[in-house]
Structure 1
Protein backbone atom coordinates (compact mmCIF):
# COMPACT_ATOMS: atom_id res chain seq x y z
CA UNK A 1 0.00 0.00 0.00
CA UNK A 2 1.06 3.55 -0.73
CA UNK A 3 0.01 6.78 0.92
CA UNK A 4 -1.59 9.31 -1.43
CA UNK A 5 -2.37 12.94 -0.69
CA UNK A 6 -5.40 14.29 -2.55
CA UNK A 7 -5.90 18.03 -2.99
CA UNK A 8 -9.22 19.27 -4.37
CA UNK A 9 -9.64 22.86 -5.56
CA UNK A 10 -13.34 23.62 -5.95
CA UNK A 11 -15.51 26.68 -5.75
CA UNK A 12 -12.94 28.80 -3.93
CA UNK A 13 -11.97 26.13 -1.40
CA UNK A 14 -9.03 23.76 -1.09
CA UNK A 15 -9.68 20.37 0.52
CA UNK A 16 -6.79 18.06 1.47
CA UNK A 17 -6.94 14.44 2.61
CA UNK A 18 -4.86 11.26 2.51
CA UNK A 19 -5.64 7.63 1.72
CA UNK A 20 -3.73 4.36 1.79
CA UNK A 21 -4.29 2.55 -1.50
CA UNK A 22 -2.59 0.19 -3.93
CA UNK A 23 -2.78 2.70 -6.80
CA UNK A 24 -3.52 6.37 -7.37
CA UNK A 25 -6.82 5.41 -9.03
CA UNK A 26 -7.79 3.35 -5.97
CA UNK A 27 -7.06 6.38 -3.78
CA UNK A 28 -9.35 8.50 -5.97
CA UNK A 29 -12.10 5.87 -5.73
CA UNK A 30 -11.82 5.85 -1.91
CA UNK A 31 -11.90 9.65 -1.84
CA UNK A 32 -14.99 9.76 -4.07
CA UNK A 33 -16.79 7.26 -1.86
CA UNK A 34 -15.99 9.28 1.27
CA UNK A 35 -17.05 12.50 -0.46
CA UNK A 36 -20.44 10.98 -1.33
CA UNK A 37 -20.93 9.24 2.03
CA UNK A 38 -19.99 12.25 4.16
CA UNK A 39 -21.45 14.93 1.81
CA UNK A 40 -18.29 16.99 2.41
CA UNK A 41 -19.26 19.53 -0.27
CA UNK A 42 -22.97 19.58 0.48
CA UNK A 43 -25.19 19.26 -2.61
CA UNK A 44 -22.13 19.34 -4.88
CA UNK A 45 -20.62 16.19 -3.31
CA UNK A 46 -22.26 13.64 -5.60
CA UNK A 47 -21.70 15.44 -8.93
CA UNK A 48 -18.07 16.25 -8.03
CA UNK A 49 -17.38 12.64 -7.00
CA UNK A 50 -19.12 11.27 -10.09
CA UNK A 51 -17.35 13.67 -12.46
CA UNK A 52 -13.92 13.01 -10.96
CA UNK A 53 -14.43 9.24 -11.13
CA UNK A 54 -15.49 9.42 -14.77
CA UNK A 55 -12.38 11.44 -15.60
CA UNK A 56 -10.02 9.30 -13.49
CA UNK A 57 -11.36 5.97 -14.75
CA UNK A 58 -12.51 6.60 -18.32
CA UNK A 59 -9.84 9.12 -19.27
CA UNK A 60 -7.25 7.84 -16.76
CA UNK A 61 -5.47 10.04 -14.28
CA UNK A 62 -3.24 12.47 -16.13
CA UNK A 63 0.36 12.62 -14.98
CA UNK A 64 1.34 16.19 -14.14
CA UNK A 65 3.93 17.22 -16.71
CA UNK A 66 7.45 17.48 -15.33
CA UNK A 67 6.60 15.72 -12.05
CA UNK A 68 6.91 12.14 -10.85
CA UNK A 69 4.19 10.59 -8.71
CA UNK A 70 1.65 13.36 -9.30
CA UNK A 71 -1.57 13.09 -11.28
CA UNK A 72 -4.73 15.09 -11.78
CA UNK A 73 -8.37 14.66 -12.72
CA UNK A 74 -11.04 17.28 -13.29
CA UNK A 75 -14.77 17.75 -13.62
CA UNK A 76 -17.08 20.63 -14.37
CA UNK A 77 -19.96 20.91 -11.90
CA UNK A 78 -22.58 23.60 -12.51
CA UNK A 79 -20.01 25.66 -14.38
CA UNK A 80 -17.37 25.39 -11.65
CA UNK A 81 -14.12 23.46 -12.15
CA UNK A 82 -13.31 20.71 -9.66
CA UNK A 83 -9.58 19.95 -9.96
CA UNK A 84 -8.20 17.00 -8.01
CA UNK A 85 -4.44 16.56 -7.65
CA UNK A 86 -3.15 13.19 -6.43
CA UNK A 87 0.39 12.92 -5.05
CA UNK A 88 2.16 9.81 -3.82
CA UNK A 89 3.43 10.72 -0.38
CA UNK A 90 6.41 9.53 1.66
CA UNK A 91 5.70 8.46 5.21
CA UNK A 92 7.85 10.06 7.88
CA UNK A 93 7.28 7.45 10.59
Structure 2
Protein backbone atom coordinates (compact mmCIF):
# COMPACT_ATOMS: atom_id res chain seq x y z
CA UNK A 1 0.00 0.00 0.00
CA UNK A 2 1.16 3.50 -0.81
CA UNK A 3 0.88 6.65 1.25
CA UNK A 4 -1.23 9.47 -0.18
CA UNK A 5 -1.50 13.05 1.01
CA UNK A 6 -4.87 14.67 0.33
CA UNK A 7 -5.17 18.45 0.32
CA UNK A 8 -8.65 19.97 0.22
CA UNK A 9 -9.20 23.65 -0.55
CA UNK A 10 -12.73 24.59 0.46
CA UNK A 11 -14.47 27.78 1.49
CA UNK A 12 -11.25 29.62 2.41
CA UNK A 13 -9.71 26.72 4.34
CA UNK A 14 -7.07 24.13 3.55
CA UNK A 15 -7.43 20.65 5.06
CA UNK A 16 -4.64 18.08 4.86
CA UNK A 17 -4.88 14.33 5.57
CA UNK A 18 -2.91 11.20 4.79
CA UNK A 19 -4.12 7.68 4.02
CA UNK A 20 -2.52 4.40 3.07
CA UNK A 21 -4.31 2.83 0.12
CA UNK A 22 -3.80 0.57 -2.86
CA UNK A 23 -4.36 3.47 -5.25
CA UNK A 24 -5.35 7.13 -5.42
CA UNK A 25 -9.07 6.43 -5.90
CA UNK A 26 -9.07 4.19 -2.82
CA UNK A 27 -7.33 6.97 -0.86
CA UNK A 28 -10.07 9.39 -1.97
CA UNK A 29 -12.75 6.88 -0.91
CA UNK A 30 -11.16 6.55 2.56
CA UNK A 31 -10.92 10.34 2.85
CA UNK A 32 -14.57 10.79 1.82
CA UNK A 33 -15.70 8.22 4.38
CA UNK A 34 -13.77 9.99 7.17
CA UNK A 35 -15.08 13.38 6.05
CA UNK A 36 -18.67 12.16 6.08
CA UNK A 37 -18.42 10.08 9.27
CA UNK A 38 -16.75 12.84 11.30
CA UNK A 39 -18.44 15.84 9.62
CA UNK A 40 -15.05 17.56 9.45
CA UNK A 41 -16.45 20.53 7.49
CA UNK A 42 -19.65 20.78 9.46
CA UNK A 43 -22.95 20.71 7.59
CA UNK A 44 -21.49 20.59 4.03
CA UNK A 45 -19.30 17.54 4.81
CA UNK A 46 -21.65 14.95 3.34
CA UNK A 47 -22.27 16.94 0.14
CA UNK A 48 -18.55 17.54 -0.37
CA UNK A 49 -17.73 13.86 0.28
CA UNK A 50 -20.39 12.60 -2.14
CA UNK A 51 -19.45 15.11 -4.84
CA UNK A 52 -15.71 14.45 -4.63
CA UNK A 53 -16.20 10.68 -4.64
CA UNK A 54 -18.55 10.89 -7.62
CA UNK A 55 -16.04 13.02 -9.54
CA UNK A 56 -13.10 10.75 -8.64
CA UNK A 57 -14.91 7.53 -9.55
CA UNK A 58 -17.30 8.46 -12.37
CA UNK A 59 -15.16 11.08 -14.10
CA UNK A 60 -11.85 9.56 -12.97
CA UNK A 61 -9.22 11.43 -11.08
CA UNK A 62 -7.55 13.98 -13.31
CA UNK A 63 -3.78 13.72 -13.54
CA UNK A 64 -2.18 17.10 -12.95
CA UNK A 65 -0.29 18.03 -16.10
CA UNK A 66 3.53 17.83 -15.97
CA UNK A 67 3.52 16.20 -12.51
CA UNK A 68 3.95 12.55 -11.55
CA UNK A 69 1.77 10.97 -8.89
CA UNK A 70 -0.56 13.97 -8.50
CA UNK A 71 -4.29 13.97 -9.25
CA UNK A 72 -7.27 16.18 -8.52
CA UNK A 73 -11.03 15.98 -8.15
CA UNK A 74 -13.58 18.72 -7.57
CA UNK A 75 -17.19 19.45 -6.73
CA UNK A 76 -19.32 22.45 -5.86
CA UNK A 77 -21.66 22.67 -2.93
CA UNK A 78 -23.56 25.67 -1.60
CA UNK A 79 -21.96 27.73 -4.35
CA UNK A 80 -18.41 26.97 -3.17
CA UNK A 81 -15.75 24.97 -5.01
CA UNK A 82 -14.17 22.03 -3.18
CA UNK A 83 -10.88 21.08 -4.85
CA UNK A 84 -9.10 17.94 -3.66
CA UNK A 85 -5.49 17.30 -4.64
CA UNK A 86 -4.16 13.78 -4.18
CA UNK A 87 -0.38 13.33 -3.96
CA UNK A 88 1.41 10.00 -3.84
CA UNK A 89 3.83 10.53 -0.97
CA UNK A 90 7.19 9.00 -0.11
CA UNK A 91 6.79 6.98 3.07
CA UNK A 92 9.43 8.11 5.60
CA UNK A 93 9.46 4.75 7.40
Shorter-chain TM-score bucket reads: over 0.9
Q: Write out aligned runs for 1:79-90 (5 A).
A: 79-90=79-90
Partner SS, residue 44 of structure 2: helix
After superposing on structure 2, the runs of 4+ consecutive aligned residues of structure 1 that deviate more than 4 Å are none
- In structure 2, stretches of 5+ residues that fail to align are none
1:73 Cα deviation (Å)? 0.0
- In structure 1, stretches of 5+ residues that fail to align are none
Q: Scaled by the length of structure 2, what TM-score is found?
A: 0.99
1:19 equivalent in structure 2: 19
Aligned length in residues: 93
2:73 equivalent in structure 1: 73
